[in-house]
Structure 1
């Protein structure tokens, strides 16, 4: 057996194993992206060496073999095909070009083609059959030709009617999903009961629908959206747009996201739009589906063994991927809390490279049974913070190692303690450098004093050089200008921005000042509430616990925390120094900032920014009334360009109305407009 044949055999065995777990056990051993890459490699190898492609190849199959099913097997009247996947927007453009070449040039059709863009639901595909308007059968996709009869369980889903509003015979297909709000609730309950959590809503939906006890299905409150009608021409429907309206008119649920599109440019723009908007939906989506709208062309374009040629799926950057847990490091925060951080084999998730992820606390490591060397799933919580979801225990080799919690602070080596009734380990040294750094980063953060350009690396550098030792030293940095300018990547303009922003911070709202002090248990909402109720910090500092408890929204734990904070001598000394510096500690003395200086203006950032993350600059733009766009078009007013800007910059140069600015110029715009 040569190397090519060996690799084909290896890929076939791996993919079949993953399929059995995914379809049969409702478990994902790898991410969709990793799976698609393996399948693509197998397709390429089999294409080059067709003599090694056998009838049982995963490239010729849809779904699983149903070898371990607990349900009755049912043959589909019409095969349930899967969609071809693309992770590159250029491949979508090529898909459109291939179709239009086929229709226009080779078939000589003169009419303009249109397409329907829909969200791609990440759940379990289902085919539901109605006879004389009554639901009589529901079948899973299975291997595409034969599925499982799950009629009784489907009957438990409230959004699937048992009777249509018209006595019709029809077969509709859709996706059973678990709403995200329900998914979170179920996982919380499973944790409380000591059960293993579901890795994602898709696995939860699939596992639920395959329960032999229909009561469990009813309790978990699954949902279903329909998107396909078998034999639409039978009902005099000539377009997919008409099909969706027809399905809805019969009392069946659709997503109501089915946009008719005629140009590649509009398609690209709408895909990017939904890439951001999908986070507002209460169901999991992993991409967009593009279908030829005119049904008469479907048969003409035909199908491959697995997929229709008239439709394709664009997959968003993977939200959840698997990678190897290499080690655990321990991070110390501003309160002394010691948090485990997963050190990972670098992997791409939600469009960015990730090699570290949160594990929250040691109790969570024990609860999830995570070990060093595990293959783990990671995802971005709220699309921002990477976190470890769970280990893939089925892939353990026996070489994995238990994780041992530290007994000493990893920064100052002082003893660690666990407060009674709490799960977190804490450093006992009040002068721990990590605590100091955390407090300073919190103080200068966007939600706090919003000192622009004062990020984590700058704080680390200033502490290392002794330029600052505490929060109040920030306001003395203007006297160390020469030293700062000599630092790497700190030119004159950057130093100007930091020093100017430090001076401007003296006039921040009283509520922001309260938040920036880092009073335990006091977040943005409570800081606003306390500012409104107390009017100035002297009143707040002298309030008794009983008075604090009279404020609606302040409980005993919060009242104790606030009271204790203002009885700490170091905190009192810090506040007095900040008062002398000129920080605003009362309501009504805030500087008047024009909140809508960017009203009716649109922005887009590209390349690597020095002072902002991509989300931070979007928030800054929106704070001043501007609007963020996801793509370069004639609707764009400003393109903010960072290092290594690529195609967006080139495209913007071709549109004269777009003003291309640097990050420094954006700072200047904010500064100048706020002076007016």
Structure 2
């Protein structure tokens, strides 16, 4: 047995070396027959010994069916990137970064940051992967998720032959980030023999990696490119070049286009070259990424709430095509709004097959000259990752059939009501898509965050267990769920546990979950911070609500009408009776009521370089200010940093007090 084990280790090392040469370097080092002989020998030894090492290449074929994906918390957050879509956007990003560096160097003359230098990389259009290696072995692979928690998809990722199962670096734990893709040539070959051809490479990769059958993933012959070390417990880099070399030395597949330059002008030259060659690549990209290379500079520049300040995604311009408008269907959303969806003759735009396009309402249809457009040629546009939209007809003539809006709800047959340009089904208690949508929204991540819940779950509970209201969820039992199709013991237990876990949401999330018409996350957060009590908010009058920033008459009436609706009152009563306890944060302690900010409504705009907008907002709230996101007549003060835009212009037009000097702001904030 010991001799056989050593032989297996030697074979694995040899096979992995050849896999690396073939799948990562694209440089085959032996014939297929020679490779097969090594592989067959390993399979034989594994069968004889009953031992399969975790990093064995035989693990790449896909194993047993998975029961589901477990949530995985990343060791370091995966950040989104701010976007630049033209020269001005790119230069604005560069100007902000340069100012932050200059300010730092002024304050630290003995230890300045180096001149800015940059790397330009491809922005792959696939599924983000976050791989965890512990002492050299691949122990976890996860999707991006919300950046903090993703889904563990280790079994599927192991089927990607360009992903190393073991790496030379064995000194600690690291997280390596990259993108799982399907090469376009592989997609063509797959579709040539597939019973159900795949529509596009991005969905093919994402669908395979999130498939509960790893064998399906293996059949897609996916690829992966890697570009970042997100976490390392005992590893540091001075610059991005060192990181790329580390990835290469540890057998990760690196993008064939990683360009290091020393000026923003050189960045633009590289962008032009890469944009020009975009359609020659054997994989999809949806943009390019520009990063500052020096790691200490990245640390100093830091992050906003959403993005690193040291990187930006240069997104491609929208792509357009001409196709035929075939049909328009009408769909009902959770608020009862009935919206049109256009079906067009399938057309390829940038490697993505487009068949459905958005239309807003009949006014939108008429404005785009589409009222008599069925069967006509139309222009469509796909911009970045946005659902394609119809721009208008190719001809001016009424040369097609008429698009007729529905007279009754296409789902339940109830009468429709026109509010402004939109149609609404007013059957709030008997319209299936409204009720399913409400339940799915209630359980969503930004609302009650009920884990493992999906719209398909909402549909199944509606159809099989008569779940008609979000409050019904908390009265379901294990015995109810176990009877459902595709619900085993584990799934039923997990969902019951998820319901229980969700019972203490913060008040803002609970209000958002309720789906109050005309309110979103910003408004419900504002309501939660002002009232800090569900009971007080439910008793509020319109005259009281409109005194709050960003809440006008229509929104105030929507809020009051929602809480006066007997059906909504019953739903909330049942939720509270089931043990839901919305938690409100305590109001920030007021430091000084004589502060010029006390009782004032303040808007922050632009870039604050000394303390950052988040820090400034917290200090303002401690001084009794109400910090909001938009400028209106109710705004008292606008604090404008670098590159302030339309909010500053509107403040000037309204004659609102503007503070555009950070030193003045610091003096007014005092010692908060």
TM-score by length of structure 1 reads 0.40
TM-score by length of structure 2 reads 0.41
